[in-house]
Chains A and B, each alone.
Chain A
Amino acid sequence: MKKKVLACLLAAAMVVSAAGCGKKEADNTIRVAIWDNNQLAGLEDIANEWGKENGYQVEFDVLGWDSYWTMLEAGVSGGEMPDVFWMHSNNALKYESSGILLPLNDYIDEAGLDMSNYFDGITELYTLDGVHYGMPKDHDTIAVVYNKAIFDKYDVDYPNDSWTWEDFADAAQEITDKGKADGVFGTYCNVGNNQDTWYNIVYSYGGEIINDEKTASGYDNEKTIEAMKFVADKILPACPTLDAMASTGGDTMFLSGLVGMICQGSWCVNNFYNADNSSDYAWAKLPYTDRNGNGKCEKEERCSIYNGLGWSIYSKTDKKDAAWSLISAFSSKEGQEKQSELGVTMAAYKGMSEPFVKAYSGMDISPFVDIEDEGTLVFRPYSKSTGTWESDVSDTLVEAWNNPDKMEEVLKKCAADMNATISEE
């Protein structure tokens, strides 16, 4: 009797799973993969409008950052790929040179698009040997977000434009000292906070992560070492312990009122704007490094890393034209304007910062925009194998975070490993 029941169950399970295999997507569905849930609602707005006009259904898959790239890697060798997806500087060169992305030159020529309307670094990133492999989606810069309630409570001055990184560290240290009893810390900077935190410090010190030709690591650069020693000696003591940072993320701690200020990218504004205590939060420009010691901020002394995503199309999709139509809707002037107005991210299209700032009424996010004119934008360091050397460097840096005295030694090791990786590209 039991066996019969079991057999029936198994048979039923087989039928169900076979039915699952047979499920086919309707032919007017475009699959889009992204990794940032914060942007989903805004992008869906734009996509649905495009879909209505063109008779298509746009289906978004949102994955975490790591699983996104694992999914694409597996998709390329396994065949199951989204039609349209985001590209990022960490992996762009690798994908561009592997024939996975659809060349867009013909489409761009046909539509008569002027690529100089977009931020140069972003267009350049998604172009290899004159072939465009992606349409610029957005650009991002970094600013400091601080919790006014914490600064008031411990009687520390709010961050302002005249702050150097030293001032930033001192204020953070003051909060950490005064907040000890409450478990409140001045700032947060883990090994993984490269683009939003310590890359910016390195470049404002005049250092570099990779050289301009992308042929050698910058971790053994004197200025880079100086900047990272500053991070080790002044920033880290004001942060939660390494163990605490490995257990709880920076955003989580900040949003829980346990950290006074952190550096964050413009792609995250939404997260802070919609938070419970968002009225306590305010943004300030990234600090600078007074390299020449004249007490004033020169343009090259205030650096923000900038980066921009690209919209790419899978080269083997059978809906190439529709996919192009969709990404050109995202990247067109109107699409970019809408993306800014909805507060999704800053546009890749030049001259559209205003609507983005306006999208967040009641929160002044102009520091993200102001740094574009008053500071220097540095494109997020990359080469073909960014993914590999960046994760190697964070693994190695854990030791320096643990023993700040060893920073120089650890950086030399980072440089050696990174050079070995780059030489194999």
Chain B
Amino acid sequence: MKRKMTSRQKSQAFWGIIFILPTILGLLVLNYYPIVQIVYQSFCKTGDFGLGNIFIGFENYARLISDKEMYRCLWNSARYALFSIPLVILIPLILAVLLNQKIKFRGGYRTIFFLPMVCAPAAVAMVWKWMYNPDYGLLNHMLHSKISWVTDPKLAMISVVIVGVWSALGSNMILFLGGLQDIPKDYYEAAEMDGCTGVKAFWNITVPLLSPMIFFVLQTNLIGALQLFDLPFMIMDQSSRAWPSVKTITYLFYEYAFEKSDRGYGAAIVIFTMFVIGILTILLQKSEKKWVHYE
């Protein structure tokens, strides 16, 4: 049986909607409308400046699945995710556990690890670019080496991953710290009675109880990694021989949509990327029940 809303409930619902209206409007205009446009464009051969669209059905998608470069770029994005995600979970987790204890200068350490988050990503990329410079960079100078950090196709991806991980440490660490502080001390005390301390306690208490936070970090970082664009774009030169081994799928989209002004094909690439990310997210959500423990 449906119950009628009381006038108070009605008024609450009304004001509720009023309050979220700006956000709804913003989402509609800035997110959903463009998405619809892009889906439409991906079925078109677009003219210059995205004007004069000619509907061509699935032609862009047919071209997409036979485009070797697309697979290479997708693989590059996937490789970035594979390399970076274990690191951006493990390192911040360990840091968070260490910094959750009562040690000297705790605030100082927390600030230092969080600092990269405060820097503008473009500035971070520019500074790393110079540190990586094979001839005049700080890294080679300190190591007395001649390593082509970002111009050797074998190394370039790792170098980009290092920067990505370095910049993500802070925010993930803060998230984990927040999660850690929600775990009641009694659990550890009870476990200690049973002789479970240190690393054992970490695996048996900390990790399971932190799993919702780990899940959240995993999910957001996975999506972020597959959308990687700015780091390689800023750190590397496109005339580098290593560029093809780092060029990401998002960059490929940018190249077609903005540099070659082939908006239709660019739209197809980005819709395909969205599709891939969507599938991975669904799989991840399905796995949630198996390993994520909510209290």
Q: Which residues of A contact B (CB under 8 A)?
A: 14, 66, 69-70, 73-74, 76-77, 94, 97-98, 100, 183, 190-192, 240, 242-248, 387-388, 391, 394-395, 398-399, 401-402
- Tell me whether B237 is interfacial, beta carbon within 8 Å: yes
Which one of B48-56, B86-94, B105-113, B274-282 is at the A interface?
A: B48-56
Tell me whether B161 is interfacial, beta carbon within 8 Å: no
- The chain B residue sitting closest to A74, CB to CB, is B258
Chain A CB within 8 A of B293 CB: no
What are the nearest 10 A-B pairs in CB distance? A246-B240, A243-B151, A76-B49, A246-B237, A77-B50, A243-B148, A388-B260, A191-B239, A247-B133, A70-B258
Asked if A246 and B151 make an inter-chain contact with CB atoms under 8 angstroms apart, the answer reads: yes
**Chain B residue, CB-CB nearest to A388:** B260
Q: Given the complex, which residues of B lie within 8 Å of A388, measured CB to CB? A: 259-261
Within 8 A of A (CB), among B218-253: 236-243
Residue of A with least CB distance to B151:
A243
Using a CB–CB cutoff of 8 Å, the interface residues on chain B facing chain A are: 22, 47-51, 129, 132-137, 148, 150-152, 236-243, 258-261
For A242, A243, A388, the residue with the greatest tally of chain B CB atoms inside 10 Å of its CB is A243
Tell me how far the C-beta of A25 lies from the nearest C-beta in chain B, rounded to whole angstroms: 22
Q: Which residues of B contact A243 (CB under 8 A)?
A: 134, 148, 151-152, 240-241
From residue A193, how far is it (CB to closest CB) to chain B in Å?
A: 10
Question: Is the CB–CB distance between A245 and B260 below 8 Å?
Answer: no
Contact sample, A vs B, 20 pairs, CB 8 Å cutoff = A69-B259, A70-B258, A73-B258, A76-B49, A94-B261, A240-B135, A242-B151, A242-B240, A243-B148, A243-B152, A244-B135, A246-B151, A247-B132, A247-B134, A247-B135, A248-B133, A248-B136, A387-B260, A398-B239, A401-B241
Residue among A94, A97, A240, A248 with most chain B CB within 10 A = A248
Contact yes or no, A391 B260, CB < 8 A: yes
Task: For the complex, give the distance between the alpha carbons of A248 and B150 in Å.
Answer: 12
When chains A and B are docked, how far (Å) is the Cα of A245 from the Cα of B236? 11
Q: A76-B49, A94-B48, A391-B259 are in contact. Are A242 and B135 (CB under 8 A)?
A: no
What is the CA–CA distance of A378 and B242 in the complex, to the nearest angstrom? Answer: 34
Q: Which residues of A contact B237 (CB under 8 A)?
A: 246-247
Q: Are B134 and A98 in contact (CB under 8 A)?
A: no
Task: State whether A242 and B48 are in contact (beta carbons under 8 Å apart), knowing that A70-B258, A183-B135, A387-B260 are contacts in the complex.
Answer: no
| Cβ-defined contact, B239 with A192, below 8 A | yes
**Chain B residue contacts of A70, Cβ below 8 A:** 258-259
Q: Name the residue of chain B whose CB is nearest to the CB of A18.
A: B22
Q: How far is the CA of A401 from the CA of B237 in the complex (A)?
A: 14
Known: A73-B261, A77-B50. A246 touches B239 (CB 8 A): yes
Contact of A98 among B48, B129, B151 (CB under 8 A): B48
Task: Report whether B258 and A242 are in contact in the complex, using a CB–CB cutoff of 8 Å.
Answer: no
Which of A14, A394, A398 is close to B241, meaning CB atoms less than 8 Å apart?
A: A398
- Whether the pair A98, B135 counts as a contact (CB closer than 8 A) is no
Q: In the bound complex, do residue B259 and residue A77 qualify as a contact, i.e. CB atoms below 8 Å apart?
A: no
Query: Which of these, A66, A77, A387, contacts B51 with CB under 8 Å?
Result: A77
Known pairs A77-B50, A398-B243. 20 more at Cβ < 8 A? A73-B49, A73-B261, A94-B48, A94-B261, A97-B48, A98-B47, A242-B239, A242-B241, A244-B134, A246-B236, A246-B241, A246-B242, A247-B129, A248-B135, A248-B136, A398-B239, A398-B241, A399-B241, A401-B239, A401-B241
Collect the chain A residues with CB atoms within 8 Å of residue B133's CB.
Answer: 247-248
A395–B236 CA distance with the chains assembled, in angstroms = 14
Known: A192-B239, A398-B239. A247 touches B151 (CB 8 A): yes
Complex Cα distance, B22 from A388, in Å, reads 40
Q: How far is the CA of A266 from the CA of B222 in the complex (A)?
A: 48
Could you say which residues of chain A place their CB within 8 Å of the CB of B238?
394-395
In chain A, what residue has the closest Cβ to B247? A395
Complex Cα gap A402–B258 (Å) = 27
Q: How far is the CA of A190 from the CA of B240 in the complex (A)?
A: 10
Nearest-CB distance from A240 to chain B (Å)? 8
Distance (Å) between the CB of A14 and the closest chain B CB? 7
Cα distance A414–B8 in the bound complex, in angstroms: 72
| A-side contacts of B261, CB under 8 Å | 73, 94, 387-388
A213 CB to closest chain B CB, in angstroms? 21
Shortest Cβ gap from A333 to chain B (Å): 34
Asked whether B259 lies within 8 Å of A387 as measured between CB atoms, the reply is yes
Of all chain A residues, the one with the shortest Cβ separation from B148 is: A243
Partner of B49, one of A77, A244, A395: A77
What residue of chain A has the Cβ atom nearest to residue B46's Cβ? A77
A245→B148 CA distance, assembly (Å) = 12
Nearest-CB residue, chain A, relative to B237: A246
Considering the chains assembled together, what is the distance between the CA atoms of A243 and B260 in angstroms? 26
Q: How far, in whole Å, are A66 and B258 apart by their CA atoms in the complex?
A: 10
In the bound complex, CA of A70 to CA of B260 (Å)? 10
Return chain A residues, CB-CB under 8 Å to B151: 242-243, 246-247
